[in-house]
Structure 1
Amino acid sequence: MTPLPASPETKAGDVAGAFEEFNRAFAAFRDANDARLSEIETRLTADPLTVDRLERIDRALDEAKSRLDRLQIKAARPPLGAPEPRGDDAPGLAEHKAAFDLYVRAGEASGLKSLEAKALSAGSGPDGGYLVPPPAERELLRRMSAVSPIRAIASVREISTATFKKAYSSAGPAAGWVAEAAARPVTGSQTIQELNFPAMELYAMPSATQTLLDDAAVDIEQWIAEEVETVFAEQEGAAFVNGDGVNKPSGFLAATKATTAAWSWGKLAYVPTGVAGGFPAANPSDMLVDLVYALKAGYRQNASFVMNRKTQAAIRKFKSSTGEYLWQPPAAVGQPATLMNFPVVEAEDMPDIAADSFSVACGDFRRGYLVVDRLGVRVLRDPFTAKPYVLFYTTKRVGGGIQDFDAIKLLKFGLS
């Protein structure tokens, strides 16, 4: 069976059509993989033609999922210009929007200077610039949540300082049982430590011609958001996974790792597959079960799997003892695929399966990972550097790191 062509609805950009195409591709994948497994059972080897067909359908399935993801993100983008702000702050927001629009189009900054002075703004950074209107900032962050996989499942906190500090208890107060009349010795006290989440600067520099800026039909706020949302999401998504904490957030894979038996606070525990660069030949899905149950019950209830598309393609072939596929496609448009009934989050910055790689994570990321957003997205207009283009140096400050080291577990493709 060859990969299925895109339906007319999909070509027209219809999300429902893309979802139907994805389900048809998965059905074809399931049939081809069942045929491969049947040949292995009867002949001890699979027909090369069957393997080749399965690989082609597998690629078609990945392409269908990518197309569905793009259409869902695009469909979730409302225009920034509507609705108009309402409530007590509406006049101020409308004034800020008008002043920002004038600054971007013509470089006139007096209106924004006056507004930021009235608001007692913390002031511009070393590179200058002005804050975008709050509705545009909120919409940009919402769009980034739809594109950035880790941001979508992590806790997100807005801060007004350079660093967010969070206290945690590394050792609780001692307690014990005593008899009714026995002495009560003094117990050990609780140990409180501190986690720091500094906000690092992330920037993009979209450009536009003056002709585009002079066009009154162009919504400037929407244009800037569309230009920077994807690059911001890609950069922070990579940092949330692998960031070393130097001028960028600390990724969860950058943490010190230990086996579940040797785990202590400050480390992420992992479960080894026992095979360098792969799953065991016999009962490979048992490793996923071990990974899930390495989590405590409180974390397991809201857990998600995190892996890239290649790793997901390998796991798609796994079956339960009753012959059911462990990986299941989304039940409806807008919902994630599931693995053993847990949501699967695709993060392309997760490593491919290789010797000693940590290619699969499972945990409650809402409790385990924290993203901090420094309030304010700043834009600096530069009409001189790249004439005839006008550059818009756009910056936001974001940080991130692990806040609960017990909430996330990793699968290591290694011997121990």
Structure 2
Amino acid sequence: MTTVNELREKRATAWNAAKAFLESRRTDKGTLTAEDDATYTRMEQDITDLSKEIARLERQEAMDAELSRPVNQPLTSKPASVSPAADSVVKRGRASDEYKAGMLKALRSNFKQVSNVLQEGVDADGGYLVPEEYDDRLIDVLKEENIMRSLGNIITTSGEHKINIAATKPAAAWIEEGGALSFGEATFDQILLDAHKLHVAIKVTEELLYDAQFPLENYIIDQFGKALANAEEDAFLNGTGRGQPLGLFAETGGGTAALSATSVTADHLMQLIYTLKRPYRKSAKFIMHDKLVAAIRQLKDNNGVYLWQPALTSGEPDKLLGYDVYTSPFCPEGKIAFGDYSYYNIGDRGTRSFKQLTELFAGNGMIGYVAKERVDGKLILPEAVQILTITGSKSAKS
């Protein structure tokens, strides 16, 4: 019986012979005579037939192996518990399950039962660092509620963060052959990301705190996350830079004031788009107040087609003139921003922490909790965001 290996050897020999025949029988024009062409065609057909036979035998061997397996595999040893994979990552520190359980236990006991595992998270004024799993979930809430966290560039800092900016750029110049070189000066500027403290406090009744069925951690994360996100978004858009981040719409340090109009028109929106330099338009988006949307959705082109394009799938932003639109209740009603918001840098200093207030509300049977964070935000390139200011009525005109 011919084996698969033997057929493979025959195919290899036939292929080498075919290649040698082809090279030796080419004419001066690089072609084959009719007789040699017929011979080479037969050699190719033999190789194809061998390949088909090899494939047939391989399928046959696979089928024999499948059918030879026993229907039931007998147990040859005692069942054992499944152990975790050797290469699995062991969570340590604030990411460990022990720290998470310790934090929940401390919350439910008014921090009277503080285990050693929490001692690593104690800060100077009695707070406890949020477990990493909780911190990730809180970040998710901040991103979902805060449009600037989803659009901006987030940096985790451990100290004052310096960002170097090219204030002036060198320019190329034509010179004659043998002519003297002209030198320009490249100057640089720095933007500092500091850390401004933001906190939120809530009160929880003792009944809720001691009820084991109540998902305390989910409630706190949800309430803290929404409150922090709203305060952050307001500051990232309107902040003065004094004790808070510097906002996108700040008169000094914010986006570039490009246009001013008394009403929203299609021409002004088109002009706003092309006021932004071409490299920034690749990732540009609109930000505006919800009240402006009603006016802009009425704009039509010369064919009567609305300029506003609703999203085709849930969760995706609507589009205006082909660019994504984001709305915020904290955006000034008379301003529209258009630009690449990845140049807005958000600096998170360290991580967030909890703190409990036991005595302040003791007479009311309640426990207070405080979450705090330190964050800063600045637009590092004002030219990356152009702003249209509407000075008069917010109504739209085609």
On whether the aligned pair clears a TM of 0.5, the verdict is: yes
Partners of 1:377 and 1:112 in 2: CA distance: 18
The residue type equivalent to 2:286 in the other structure is F
Specify the alignment match of 1:396 in structure 2: 373
Work out whether residues 206 and 393 of structure 1, in 8 Å CA contact, stay in contact via their aligned partners in 2. yes
Question: Which of 87, 90, 106 in structure 2 is aligned with 1:88?
Answer: 90
Matches within 5 A, 1:351-362: 351-353=332-334, 359-362=335-338
Specify the alignment match of 2:390 in structure 1: 413
Partners of 1:230 and 1:347 in 2: CA distance: 14
The answer to whether 1:206 aligns with 2:198 is no
Specify the alignment match of 1:9 in structure 2: none
For structure 1, which segment, 216-225 or 294-303, has the greater mean C-alpha deviation from structure 2 after superposition?
A: 216-225
Specify the alignment match of 1:124 in structure 2: 123
SS of 2:170's partner is coil
Question: How many percent of aligned residue pairs carry the same amino acid?
Answer: 28
Aligned CA distance change for structure 1 residues 145 and 200 (closer, same or farther; 3 Å): same
The answer to whether 1:181 aligns with 2:178 is yes
Specify the alignment match of 2:320 in structure 1: 339
Specify the alignment match of 1:378 in structure 2: 353
Partners of 2:116 and 2:243 in 1: CA distance: 33
Matches within 5 A, 1:5-20: none
Q: What is the root-mean-square deviation in Å for CA atoms of aligned residues? A: 2.1
Partners of 1:113 and 1:234 in 2: CA distance: 30
The residue type equivalent to 1:103 in the other structure is A
Post-superposition offset of 1:124? 2.0
SS of 2:166's partner is strand
The answer to whether 1:290 aligns with 2:290 is no
Specify the alignment match of 2:186 in structure 1: 190
The answer to whether 1:114 aligns with 2:119 is yes
Partners of 1:331 and 1:236 in 2: CA distance: 29
Question: Which of 265, 269, 273 in structure 1 is aligned with 2:257?
Answer: 269
The answer to whether 1:321 aligns with 2:302 is yes
Partners of 2:304 and 2:281 in 1: CA distance: 25
SS of 1:190's partner is coil
SS of 1:252's partner is coil
Matches within 5 A, 1:97-108: 97-106=100-109, 107=111, 108=113
The residue type equivalent to 2:101 in the other structure is A
Specify the alignment match of 1:142 in structure 2: 140
Q: Which runs of 5+ in 2 are unaligned?
A: 1-87, 393-398
Aligned CA distance change for structure 1 residues 408 and 241 (closer, same or farther; 3 Å): same
Question: Which of 214, 223, 230 in structure 1 is aligned with 2:226?
Answer: 230
The residue type equivalent to 2:336 in the other structure is V
Partners of 2:316 and 2:194 in 1: CA distance: 33
Post-superposition offset of 1:220? 3.5
Partners of 2:181 and 2:283 in 1: CA distance: 40
Work out whether residues 127 and 356 of structure 2, in 8 Å CA contact, stay in contact via their aligned partners in 1. yes
Partners of 1:200 and 1:101 in 2: CA distance: 28
Partners of 2:192 and 2:178 in 1: CA distance: 45
Partners of 1:111 and 1:311 in 2: CA distance: 54
The answer to whether 1:330 aligns with 2:305 is no
Aligned residues: 300
List per-residue Cα deviations over 1:156-189 (Å, max 9, x = no partner): 111122x32111110123543323322335x233
Partners of 1:181 and 1:250 in 2: CA distance: 50
Work out whether residues 255 and 387 of structure 2, in 8 Å CA contact, stay in contact via their aligned partners in 1. no
Matches within 5 A, 1:37-48: none
Work out whether residues 98 and 117 of structure 2, in 8 Å CA contact, stay in contact via their aligned partners in 1. no
Work out whether residues 159 and 374 of structure 1, in 8 Å CA contact, stay in contact via their aligned partners in 2. yes
The answer to whether 1:301 aligns with 2:266 is no
The residue type equivalent to 1:364 in the other structure is D
Work out whether residues 308 and 321 of structure 2, in 8 Å CA contact, stay in contact via their aligned partners in 1. yes
Q: Which runs of 5+ in 1 are unaligned?
A: 1-85, 117-122, 258-265, 354-358
Post-superposition offset of 1:190? 1.9
List per-residue Cα deviations over 1:106-135 (Å, max 9, x = no partner): 11334255334xxxxxx625x430101011
The residue type equivalent to 1:231 in the other structure is A
Work out whether residues 255 and 384 of structure 2, in 8 Å CA contact, stay in contact via their aligned partners in 1. no
Post-superposition offset of 1:396? 1.1
Work out whether residues 364 and 407 of structure 1, in 8 Å CA contact, stay in contact via their aligned partners in 2. yes
SS of 1:253's partner is coil
Specify the alignment match of 1:13 in structure 2: none
Partners of 1:239 and 1:349 in 2: CA distance: 9
Partners of 1:212 and 1:303 in 2: CA distance: 46
Specify the alignment match of 1:44 in structure 2: none
Partners of 2:255 and 2:370 in 1: CA distance: 38
Work out whether residues 271 and 291 of structure 1, in 8 Å CA contact, stay in contact via their aligned partners in 2. yes
Name which one, 1 or 2, has greater alpha-carbon Rg: 2
The residue type equivalent to 1:105 in the other structure is R
Work out whether residues 103 and 118 of structure 2, in 8 Å CA contact, stay in contact via their aligned partners in 1. no
Partners of 2:127 and 2:245 in 1: CA distance: 23
SS of 1:254's partner is coil
SS of 2:167's partner is strand
Question: Which of 143, 147, 153 in structure 2 is aligned with 1:155?
Answer: 153
SS of 2:293's partner is helix
The residue type equivalent to 2:191 in the other structure is L
SS of 2:96's partner is helix
The residue type equivalent to 1:370 in the other structure is N
SS of 2:188's partner is strand
